[in-house]
């Protein structure tokens, strides 16, 4: 069947969903480290990975029949994935606002802060409030739109906050805040 009659999804639905994560009317805040990571990823895609895939696809296309040519088919698919990621990163980089935590001087928990909270059992957890594109809960980096961040933003050491999640509700005391 001719490709003209086949609707292939380019995955734009996923790109739209991810970009709509940022609440309407707010900025895409990010730390300098996160901004550099995104810029480095974009640079690697543009100047390293994409040229290699283009070269592979070009070589595969020169081999003749493309309908059963795995290198060509998978290369084109990978090229679409790379181009989609490049578009996404370009939009994110154009829209982010860098906030340097080391320049924040506050006793309150603000964007970029490393906070320490303690639950009722005395168990302490350390977290850092970061941008949406750099969150990594397994390593204590939580997005500024996450429930924990929303609960502690603008609070001070000694404040007690209620954290409600779909599975539980707990009281947490803020026992430390620092900016690095």
31: buried, middle or exposed (CB in 10 Å: 19+, 13-18, 0-12)? buried
What's the CA gap between 91 and 28, in Å, rounded?
Answer: 11
Q: In terms of CATH architecture, what is 101-178?
A: Roll (3.10)
User: Would you state the pLDDT for residue 143?
Assistant: 94
- The whole-chain average pLDDT of the chain stands at 86
Provide CATH 3.10.50.30 ranges for the chain.
101-178
Provide CATH 1.10.287.180 ranges for the chain.
27-98
DSSP 3-state of 30 = strand
Distances (CA, A) of 81 to 38, 86, 92, 99: 16, 9, 17, 30
Q: What is the pTM of this model?
A: 0.78
Q: What would the pLDDT profile of 4-59 be if each residue is shown by its tens digit?
A: 444 455 454 444 444 557 777 778 899 999 999 999 999 999 999 999 999 999 99
* Residue 98 parent element (H or E): strand 96-98
DSSP state of 55: H
Distance of CA 71 to the CA centre of its chain: 30
What is the CATH code of the structural domain delimited by 27-98? 1.10.287.180
């Amino acid at each position: 069947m001719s490709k003209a009659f086949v609707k292939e999804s380019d995955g734009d639905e996923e790109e739209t969903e991810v970009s709509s994560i940022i609440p309407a009317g707010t900025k895409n805040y990010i730390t300098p480290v996160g901004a550099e990571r995104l810029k480095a990823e974009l640079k690697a895609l543009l100047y390293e990975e994409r040229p290699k895939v283009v070269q592979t696809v070009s070589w595969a296309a020169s081999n003749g029949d493309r309908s059963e040519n795995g290198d060509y088919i998978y290369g084109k698919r990978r090229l679409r994935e790379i181009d989609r990621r490049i578009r996404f990163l370009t939009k994110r980089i154009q829209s982010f606002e860098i906030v340097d935590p080391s320049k924040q001087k506050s006793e309150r928990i603000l964007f970029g802060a490393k906070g320490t909270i303690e639950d009722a059992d005395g168990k302490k957890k350390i977290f850092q409030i970061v941008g949406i594109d750099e969150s990594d809960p397994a390593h204590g980096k939580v997005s500024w739109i996450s429930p924990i961040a929303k609960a502690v933003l603008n609070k001070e050491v000694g404040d007690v906050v209620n954290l409600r999640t779909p599975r539980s509700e707990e009281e947490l005391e803020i026992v430390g805040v620092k900016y690095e």
